[in-house]
Structure 1
Amino acid sequence: MKKDQYQLDKVVILSRHGIRTPLANTIEFLEKASPLKWPSWDHAYGYLTTRGGVLESYFGHYLSQWLEQQNIRLTPENPDIYVYANSLQRTVATAQFLVTGAFAGYDIPVNHKYTIEKMDPIFDPSVQDDSPESKQALLKDIDDADKAESIFKNLAPAYAMLSDILDYKNSQLYAEYQCDFADIPYDLHFVKDEEPELLGPLAIGICAVDAFLLQYYSAFPKEQIAWGKITSQEQWQQLIQIRNHYINLVFHSRSIARKNSALLINMIDDLLHQKNNKINLLVGHDSTIAALLGALDFAEYQLPNQCENTPIGGMVILQRYRNKASGEYLFKAEYVYQSFEQLYTAQPLDINHPPQHYQLQLKNAVANSDGFYQWQDFETRLKEFKK
């Protein structure tokens, strides 16, 4: 069957916010982990940067062209799009820049529920059920993942590299623990209404690696990016494993992912069943995407030309297609994201210079020869969360 026999009917786009500054609650970690002076930023902590906004507008421009290529065209009189963001500056601003890049001049509101900097429960990764049973379920998920992949053992070279970059042996943290970076004790912080944290080298490591990545994506002078100590792609790949494993263990683990994604999945299900708004754009966080993919049982993946599993500014596009011949509905999901190089060079995007596309796979479902799943295979997963 020819792919042109499929018509894109509706999309729900879940985007991570664009390039931001380091988060305020990680600054203490960073300053204790290294005696070296961290570069300063010209935006408030946790805010989308000007460069981040520019890259999001590029992404929006590409997105509008891609949708038009799929025969979904908006008109200023009837913009067939719904936009909803978490009520933080970086997510609302990301949505605004995406919409401006895609449909400049159109009267498209960016909806959010609260005043800026108040977390919306739909996107909140905080613990809702801190019962001993829930904590043990997450600890078991973490333990099972480690047994399957030897995560903590395999991270030892990355920890050693990070320790050298940070000059950890001369830090306040070393004075406190008096042990190698990798031997800092692990502990699961699991408290109701607070974000779960796997304290220890993983939590400290993700803060540091995140800061280095933000410096890189923001095109800081090379001598300021990790103090000039990251000089190869291989080093980035190894260091970013700390970040990927932290996100996978704390947010992607099935026991917590299903709880944290329930409100979002119900919202997505509602959007897919509305007759209007062929385009639905939701803007959240890496934790939002990781939890959604875990809750809906997507297969593990490795994104080409990108070291992060949930890259900054990247989006998961859930797509419902209609077979023109039979009228049946089909499903496809893609991760659409800027490559490591595209983010660093701030390359403009358009249909001839696209971001990366990677098709995500559903576990326990079979795609047809054109890569589409039966719509029922996906809808059944959504219905599991319907209240």
Structure 2
Amino acid sequence: MINKHYQLDKIVILSRHGIRTPLQNTLELLEQATPFKWPKWQHPYGYLTTRGGALEVYFGHYLSQWLETHNIKLSVIAPKIFVYANSLQRTVATAQFIIAGAYAGYDIAINHKYPIEKMDPIFDPSLRDDSPELKQAVLHDIEQTNQVESIFKNLASAYEVLSDILDYRHSTLYAKHQCPLADIPLKLHLEKNEEPALLGALAIGASAVDAFLLQYYSAFPKEHIAWGRINDLAQWQQIVQLRNQYINLICHTKTLAKHSATPIINTIDNLMQQDNTVNLLVGHDSTIASLLGALEFETYQLPKQFESTPIGGKVALQRFRHLSTGEYFFKAEYIYQSFEQLHNGQVLNADNPPQHYQLQLKNAAINNEGYYSWSDFEERIKSFKIN
């Protein structure tokens, strides 16, 4: 519902890339976790797929329609669109497809800094510091969640379901560890210039679930999705918890979130000072999770989705101007395709929109119309300023 008392003045859309193939660095681990053969893909590992591109075209078309409902029209803003992606194939290609769907035929540059497949520091979750102090702070954060034991207790049934799907008891990994999947020891990996990781049971679970989700979103035949061993949405709901909790612990906890998100938050702050009306940034689930953690958004559960950072999902950071007072306000929405919209490859438009979920800030006052003071949010993002 559009509030006619407010005009959308500026927006930064932070998108996760669209549907990709599995990541090569997880293949060896996945092959050890099951006696079954993993399917071959028609694209290189970690690349946006053709289907992923098509769905981003649909998403781009919808976004242009949605912006028009806010009186942000291409005829006015064409020179005021800025697009920047991480320098990986899947992120650059996602940006290209979004813009093709939104503004086909217009000369809108897709900016990225490095040759394809070189990670841009703005989007790179790798540690820039591995000091004992940082490591201690990360351990403290995880312990302070006061949830670690309850998290893994709550994941027990998810591990059981995943073990059955993988037939883990007949795998190389079981022969090596001789224990249930859930009991494979966890090890926090924090090394400079490498991505933080929680090795062991949770990493195995998250990687396997990611591979199954990509099969499902790519509309593999039912008998080829997890070898036909996932039979209902209840199983999906259980096993996706493993992936969500991995991302939460590695990307969303306080110290790691701040460490990872500071470059992207500084980029967003800079963009908000520029003339561009629409800004599109394309990164990863880690980019979104760390941003939401660092800026202290409330915990959320996205309706009609099991993933907390769904593939192709977009966080829209919006600045509104109150038409009568001229005062600026802030609103954030997660705009994403539902679990079934992704699986069915549905065209997105006003009649079949993606899901919209308003994100809430911790420790911030919201007015009766659902907006935060822009100055409060601006103060929050400027606290991350790198001198």
* TM-score bracket for this pair, using the shorter chain length: over 0.9
Give the distance between the partners of 1:149 and 1:346, measured in 2 at CA: 38
CA deviations on 1:180-229 (whole Å, 9 max, x unpaired) are 11110000011000011101110000110000000000000101111111
CA deviations on 1:324-349 (whole Å, 9 max, x unpaired) are 00000000000000000000001000
Residue pairs, 1:319-334, within 5 angstroms = 319-334=318-333
Residue pairs, 1:235-246, within 5 angstroms = 235-246=235-246
SS, match of residue 324 in structure 2: coil
Q: Is the 8 A contact 2:240 2:306 kept in 1?
A: yes
Q: 1:188 to 1:8 in 2, by over 3 A?
A: same
Identify the residue that residue 382 of structure 1 maps to in structure 2.
381
Give the distance between the partners of 2:356 and 2:79, measured in 1 at CA: 25
1:266 aligns with 2:266: yes
**Which amino acid in 1 is paired with 2:66?**
W
Q: Is the 8 A contact 2:18 2:48 kept in 1?
A: yes
Residue pairs, 1:362-381, within 5 angstroms = 362-381=361-380
Larger displacement relative to structure 2 (301-310 or 70-79):
70-79
Identify the residue that residue 57 of structure 1 maps to in structure 2.
57
Give the distance between the partners of 2:42 and 2:318, measured in 1 at CA: 38
**Which amino acid in 2 is paired with 1:261?**
A
State the number of aligned residues. Answer: 385
Identify the residue that residue 155 of structure 2 maps to in structure 1.
155
1:23 aligns with 2:16: no
Identify the residue that residue 4 of structure 2 maps to in structure 1.
4
* 1:277, distance to aligned residue in structure 2 (A): 1.1
Give the distance between the partners of 1:138 and 1:336, measured in 2 at CA: 30
Normalised by the length of structure 2, the TM-score is 0.98
Give the distance between the partners of 1:97 and 1:215, measured in 2 at CA: 21
1:80 aligns with 2:97: no
1:208 aligns with 2:208: yes
Q: Is the 8 A contact 1:146 1:152 kept in 2?
A: no
Identify the residue that residue 35 of structure 1 maps to in structure 2.
35
Give the distance between the partners of 1:366 and 1:356, measured in 2 at CA: 25
SS, match of residue 280 in structure 1: strand
Q: Is the 8 A contact 2:142 2:148 kept in 1?
A: no
Q: Is the 8 A contact 1:338 1:355 kept in 2?
A: yes
* 1:148, distance to aligned residue in structure 2 (A): 6.9
Identify the residue that residue 91 of structure 1 maps to in structure 2.
91
Q: Is the 8 A contact 1:331 1:372 kept in 2?
A: yes
SS, match of residue 332 in structure 2: strand
Give the distance between the partners of 2:22 and 2:146, measured in 1 at CA: 28
Give the distance between the partners of 1:344 and 1:126, measured in 2 at CA: 31
CA deviations on 1:299-330 (whole Å, 9 max, x unpaired) are 00000000000000000000000000000000
Structure 1: 4+ residue segments shifted above 4 A: none
**Which amino acid in 2 is paired with 1:129?**
D
Give the distance between the partners of 1:189 and 1:66, measured in 2 at CA: 42
Identify the residue that residue 294 of structure 1 maps to in structure 2.
293
Give the distance between the partners of 1:39 and 1:76, measured in 2 at CA: 47
* 1:149, distance to aligned residue in structure 2 (A): 7.3
Residue pairs, 1:218-233, within 5 angstroms = 218-233=218-233
SS, match of residue 195 in structure 1: coil
Q: Is the 8 A contact 1:32 1:171 kept in 2?
A: yes
**Which amino acid in 1 is paired with 2:256?**
I
Q: Is the 8 A contact 2:77 2:277 kept in 1?
A: no
Identify the residue that residue 129 of structure 1 maps to in structure 2.
129
CA deviations on 1:235-257 (whole Å, 9 max, x unpaired) are 10100000000000000111111
* 1:176, distance to aligned residue in structure 2 (A): 1.0
Residue pairs, 1:179-194, within 5 angstroms = 179-194=179-194
SS, match of residue 303 in structure 1: coil
Larger displacement relative to structure 2 (361-370 or 321-330):
361-370
Q: 1:111 to 1:307 in 2, by over 3 A?
A: same
Give the distance between the partners of 2:297 and 2:352, measured in 1 at CA: 28
**Which amino acid in 2 is paired with 1:352?**
D
Identify the residue that residue 343 of structure 2 maps to in structure 1.
344
Q: Is the 8 A contact 1:76 1:107 kept in 2?
A: no
Identify the residue that residue 196 of structure 1 maps to in structure 2.
196
Q: Is the 8 A contact 1:15 1:314 kept in 2?
A: yes
* 1:145, distance to aligned residue in structure 2 (A): 2.4
Larger displacement relative to structure 2 (315-324 or 343-352):
343-352
* 1:75, distance to aligned residue in structure 2 (A): 2.5
**Which amino acid in 1 is paired with 2:98?**
L
Q: Is the 8 A contact 1:334 1:360 kept in 2?
A: yes
Q: Is the 8 A contact 2:78 2:108 kept in 1?
A: no
Q: Is the 8 A contact 1:80 1:279 kept in 2?
A: yes
Identify the residue that residue 248 of structure 1 maps to in structure 2.
248
SS, match of residue 224 in structure 1: helix
